[in-house]
Structure 1
């Protein structure tokens, strides 16, 4: 699942299922380690399909087994489809895997249910001083460390370099004013084509909305300890929503106002050759290039513009955790330490991902202009509220999507749209 969300899928475990998982015991709260068994040992690792490159895991497991004689890594690649039920069953059993990958928005829920091991005392050995700031909050619950950032990605503006050149745009926009000016130039050059869109922007792209809200100084919610209170009705959040509407209207987008970037798949629309820009993830270029292979070389990227420079960006991704019922917690911690080292995090960067436990993104910057733009934007990454309630929000109908559609279509004024979204969020927060 590459919409990022991995966090959408990773954060979609139902609350009832997680309550069942919580019956596994209190090992996550105590941080107690099971005694290490004697003789040959097997470390079971569950990573998700499309996460770590095979070359990385092959090298990692060879090195890990060499460093731990008598230990065999049982590596199992899991599919996103059906992972909710599989994780629930595994974490509620006495035969849990030893290391698991979980979505960053899923982590607080699992931690609060007591099915993850408290690794606070070991965080230093996981390169904590280099952790990606956008994922750090999701790996913590109630002041304790229950997960380790794995890797992430964030959205950028992907654009047709040839169209920009033909429209006389000599440099990528660095702020909102320049972005709107670029849209005007593109429309002046190509607007006679009734199918042309300077920017394809669907009405429910809430990831992009967050950039504008954060850029205005607002947020989804305010936090007091472990409690969250929705704040979409703040002047700053409303200003972000208003700019989203301004961008939709200025761009001439033909995208539906009642659907997100996957309905229809925006990369496919871009691949049709009539779109100059869209806001997406780097690997969406490859999807678009299935329609037109030339797009691989004709696509550039720049960070989402803010009022004065790049806007903050939503960072979705995955964390690593040790189940509270793992029988080999000592080995699991050694595995996390090795995987979070600069050596292996650099390999993630070379594969086009933002490393979770390393601030060195030079390898990502060197892998091409699109990856370089993502690396630049990653320095200002943020996450959704680190609360168990967020899993419920993403499992259902996200109120930010409803808010966007209601406001963009005129079904509700901004005051009512934001107030209604706040009500749904607060209900989810209070039930977590």
Structure 2
């Protein structure tokens, strides 16, 4: 998840209230690797992922259980990290524990660079992990990492505009569209929803709602599936939503940046975004002398009993296969991702991240972004778990190009068939 989370979350003061959880090991003093003198356990975390006070407390507890062991935390930058991790995992002295983006983990696992944690499931709290987050940690039936944190999108809306149009937060897709129609009819100068044409993570959720996926397993290979009836239905719904927006059809949500370049200028009734984006918009409006009054609701599903599917962006924690301190590394991972410290982690990050264990979630304040995010969590998912998926996202992203073609009038199935050729070629390249 390529965001400086702690810095970004700092501007999102309205987001509070998610307690994260895993299952800490009780075997902290039994690690075999701490015998025989002083040792250093090296941990790589990404810039913005680990609050200093929080990780200092984790390390203090760990070092107290392992006399002579010191934990060295090295903060890495997202820019260029894939190449840096690939190189490190191939060397004889890699970092012992690494934070990995959830869509990147499978690519590292297939190279043999990550330790197999399948036999350590109980100590790591496997049975309690959120199923949507769990997916990215496994490959071919084996466990290669533990989920650490995740976040997802929700609908952010202007309360005053909704009230003026007589619209309340919808529970279903039909109610959502009906509300956008009322807003459009009430004020021609207002954009009912800002939705760029290439917001493919949002589109993926609609495909998952239909029971489809962006790519599917085909024997020992993978193939694109945008031409499937499910993906076509998802795209057609996206097109209907996008018809209520004046956002460009050939841009994604960051070009322009919707939260700081578009929303603060006014005239936007709603938009789909992450918590840090909501905070960014609030901050930008404050600097412009305006007051933001946002409400939040989960992306609606097809029926009221289930919210719409959402993409989980987040990170996992893994142990390097070539670690000289593998047992210690596993114990540190279990402690950091365990119940007690994850609860403190959620508090330190202002409650803007989802826990790796659903049972640990408590009800956040009513009306907060966190509340909407938590309600969506059971419907969280990620992109296809295969090393070749990274090739699909490489520019030019065929999913983005496909979406633009459909929004500009091409038939969704025909455009999907063309995109599937590119996806199939790329996804099978490792």
How does the TM-score come out when normalised to structure 1?
Answer: 0.87
CA distance in 2, matches of 1:431, 1:89: 19
Matched, 1:228 2:226: no
Which stretch shifts more, 134-143 or 216-225? 216-225
Query: In structure 2, do the counterparts of structure 1 residues 4 and 398 end up closer, same or farther at CA, with 3 Å as the change threshold?
Result: farther
Corresponding residue of 2:186: 189
Corresponding residue of 2:125: 127
Is the contact between residue 42 and residue 95 of structure 2 (CA under 8 Å) also seen in structure 1?
yes
Deviations 1:106-129 (A, max 9, x none): 111111111111011002111111
CA distance in 2, matches of 1:295, 1:335: 46
Give secondary structure in 2 for the equivalent of 1:319: strand
Corresponding residue of 2:238: 244
Matched, 1:292 2:285: yes
Displacement after TM superposition at 1:426 (Å): 1.0
Deviations 1:291-346 (A, max 9, x none): 21288861111111121131111112111111111111111000111112111222
Give secondary structure in 1 for the equivalent of 2:115: coil
Corresponding residue of 2:335: 338
Query: In structure 2, do the counterparts of structure 1 residues 295 and 369 end up closer, same or farther at CA, with 3 Å as the change threshold?
Result: farther
CA distance in 1, matches of 2:4, 2:405: 24
Corresponding residue of 1:271: 264
Query: In structure 2, do the counterparts of structure 1 residues 181 and 220 end up closer, same or farther at CA, with 3 Å as the change threshold?
Result: same
Deviations 1:170-223 (A, max 9, x none): x311111111111122222322x2xx3110000000011011111122211223
Give secondary structure in 2 for the equivalent of 1:337: helix
Query: In structure 2, do the counterparts of structure 1 residues 34 and 413 end up closer, same or farther at CA, with 3 Å as the change threshold?
Result: farther
Matched, 1:403 2:402: yes
CA distance in 1, matches of 2:62, 2:133: 25
Give secondary structure in 2 for the equivalent of 1:174: coil
Is the contact between residue 215 and residue 311 of structure 1 (CA under 8 Å) also seen in structure 2?
yes
Q: How does 1:193-232 map to 2 (within 5 A)?
A: 193=189, 196-223=190-217, 227-232=221-226
Relative contact order, higher structure (CA 8 A, sep 6+): 2
Corresponding residue of 1:13: none
Corresponding residue of 1:312: 309
Is the contact between residue 146 and residue 317 of structure 2 (CA under 8 Å) also seen in structure 1?
yes
Corresponding residue of 2:66: 68
Displacement after TM superposition at 1:237 (Å): 1.1
Matched, 1:425 2:419: no
Corresponding residue of 1:360: 360
CA distance in 1, matches of 2:52, 2:330: 21
CA distance in 2, matches of 1:74, 1:187: 56
Matched, 1:259 2:251: yes
Q: How does 1:99-138 map to 2 (within 5 A)?
A: 99-138=97-136
Matched, 1:41 2:34: no
Displacement after TM superposition at 1:37 (Å): 6.1
CA distance in 2, matches of 1:205, 1:394: 13
Is the contact between residue 348 and residue 355 of structure 1 (CA under 8 Å) also seen in structure 2?
no
Query: In structure 2, do the counterparts of structure 1 residues 358 and 346 end up closer, same or farther at CA, with 3 Å as the change threshold?
Result: farther
Is the contact between residue 194 and residue 270 of structure 2 (CA under 8 Å) also seen in structure 1?
yes
Corresponding residue of 1:28: none
Corresponding residue of 1:302: 297
Displacement after TM superposition at 1:55 (Å): 2.5
Corresponding residue of 1:392: 391
Is the contact between residue 296 and residue 367 of structure 2 (CA under 8 Å) also seen in structure 1?
no
CA distance in 2, matches of 1:288, 1:145: 39
Displacement after TM superposition at 1:4 (Å): 10
CA distance in 1, matches of 2:209, 2:80: 36
Give secondary structure in 1 for the equivalent of 2:263: helix
Displacement after TM superposition at 1:263 (Å): 0.1
CA distance in 1, matches of 2:121, 2:290: 42
CA distance in 2, matches of 1:319, 1:355: 12
CA distance in 1, matches of 2:381, 2:401: 22
Aligned residues: 398
Give secondary structure in 1 for the equivalent of 2:212: coil
CA distance in 1, matches of 2:34, 2:218: 39
Contiguous gaps of at least 5 residues in structure 1 = 6-32
